[in-house]
Structure 1
Amino acid sequence: MSAPCTCRFDAADFRRRAKDHHPASEIAGPGPAFLAHGDHALNRPLVRSLMSRSLRDAAVLIAVVDGADDAEGGAKVLLTRRTIKLRKHSGQVAFPGGSIDPEDASAAHAALREAQEEIGLDPAHVEIVGELPHYLAASGFSITPVLAVVRPGFSLVVNPHEVDEVFEVPLSFLMNPDNHRRESRVWEGAERHYYVIPYSRHHIWGVTAGIIRTLYERLYS
């Protein structure tokens, strides 16, 4: 088991780690680093098969809320629970995000647009600080996780057609490997490994837990 990071878990430290953790060339596409982290490393045959498919580009916003006004000073991460009415990943815990549209200038632009549409997060409160390599989802998406710091003072309005709930989880909790549980199940005739991160009454797993695990391994392990 990996040892928990003896780190600061504030927005300033997250910003520094996000900007320094890898060269820009690693963002360009799948390669050795792409397969080395998170649940991709546990499911390499599946991921290699996804690399040969035509996937739809998407982006999610890993929004780390600056906790400077908090008594403990700890940063928190915004997560949503998707409505059960949605066709993809219905009812699951997810980062704000969605498909990259042709009019989006970048993955970051798409992530900001989707966050505003889903939870009413004003982009004026958001500072983009980096990206993680693409995450390939078996549901048919190549997802760019966009890293961001959110300044205090924002307000949120949930879009009920897409989101049932928005909540915050301490960054320190998500970046503690003791809270990451590995599980597996048989999917399409093969064993599929994935992470589960229980938090309060929320069951974080699948794509979201895989991206969180990648964030931990690349920035905090």
Structure 2
Amino acid sequence: MNVSPIPGMEAAAGAPLDLDDFLMRARTRLLASPDLDGDPVRGDHELTPEIRALVAALPARGAAVLVPIVARARPTVLLTLRSAHLSSHAAQIAFPGGKIDPEDDGPLGAALREAQEEVGLAPALVAPLGYLDAYLSRTGYRIVPVVGLVQPEFGLTLNPGEVDEAFEVPLDFLMSPGNHQRESREWLGMMRTFHAMTYEKRRIWGITAGILRSLYERIYA
């Protein structure tokens, strides 16, 4: 597996931010409504264009994730470690989220429901701030990231069938381009390239890192 910094980012400084600065930017730069139509620009195909042709043969499926920004003086992002026993994306770091069900109130309803089901995060503690561009996964999911501000007095109850752990990572670490990498490895006979970040001993990669990169580009770039 090959690992490299994003070109031009090797010496870039982290974006100095506090909660008020983030909120000011988020309210003017996030999408006001979810990206439900059109061909997603963001996705696993961004760094590996060959994936797009493979995804075209798959049925389109809607999904949503919550990007939970915890309202601390130094804001954090709440992430989960998926159960090692899951059939897909096992033991990977992820946002709370999943498929959009017919009874959900769109991506926002799905993201809030999944966060409550996976980690016990009460919807009343989440204030929606806006949306990121839809992210197309290599498995055919069109994922709508919902950015929400989470009150810090939340309590969590993990669903052991889906989540092994929940933890917070400082937002300024994740938004510092010097911490953004690209990794490559062989997949289905091709070299797949994807975003990655490592916080302490936690490796964030694939869809989750790609969505965090999308957040950085929309809010701070």
Q: Report the TM range for the smaller structure's normalisation.
A: 0.7 to 0.9
Q: Taking structure 1 as the reference length, what is the TM-score of the superposition?
A: 0.88
State the AA in 1 paired with 2:89: H
| Percent identity between the two aligned chains | 47
Trace 1:64-213 onto structure 2 (pairs within 5 A). 64-67=69-72, 73-213=73-213
The question of whether the paired residues in 1 share the 8 Å contact of 2:44 and 2:51 is answered with: no
The question of whether the paired residues in 2 share the 8 Å contact of 1:79 and 1:94 is answered with: yes
List alignment gaps of at least 5 residues for structure 2: 1-7
The aligned residue for residue 63 of structure 1 is 68
Partner deviation per Cα, 1:187-216 (whole Å, 9 max, x = no partner): 222221111111112111111111111111
Judging changes above 3 Å, is the alpha-carbon distance between structure 1 residues 25 and 43 closer, same or farther for their aligned structure 2 residues?
A: farther
Partner deviation per Cα, 1:78-99 (whole Å, 9 max, x = no partner): 0000001111211100001111
The aligned residue for residue 50 of structure 2 is 45
In the alignment of these two chains, the number of paired residues is 212
The aligned residue for residue 4 of structure 2 is none
Q: 1:4 aligns with which of 7, 10, 13?
A: 13
Matches of 1:43 and 1:166, distance apart in 2 = 30
RMSD over aligned CA atoms reads 2.0
The question of whether the paired residues in 1 share the 8 Å contact of 2:33 and 2:130 is answered with: no
Judging changes above 3 Å, is the alpha-carbon distance between structure 1 residues 22 and 51 closer, same or farther for their aligned structure 2 residues?
A: farther
The aligned residue for residue 3 of structure 2 is none
Matches of 2:128 and 2:14, distance apart in 1 = 24
State the AA in 2 paired with 1:62: V
Which one scores higher on RCO, CA 8 angstroms, separation ≥ 6?
2
The question of whether the paired residues in 1 share the 8 Å contact of 2:44 and 2:136 is answered with: no
Q: Taking structure 2 as the reference length, what is the TM-score of the superposition?
A: 0.88
Matches of 2:74 and 2:13, distance apart in 1 = 16
State the AA in 1 paired with 2:17: R
The question of whether the paired residues in 2 share the 8 Å contact of 1:30 and 1:134 is answered with: no
Q: Does residue 19 in structure 1 map to residue 27 in structure 2?
A: yes
Alpha-carbon shift at residue 139 of structure 1 (Å)? 2.5
The question of whether the paired residues in 2 share the 8 Å contact of 1:38 and 1:217 is answered with: no
Matches of 1:25 and 1:147, distance apart in 2 = 11
Other structure's SS at 1:117 match: helix
Matches of 2:61 and 2:43, distance apart in 1 = 21
List alignment gaps of at least 5 residues for structure 1: 68-72
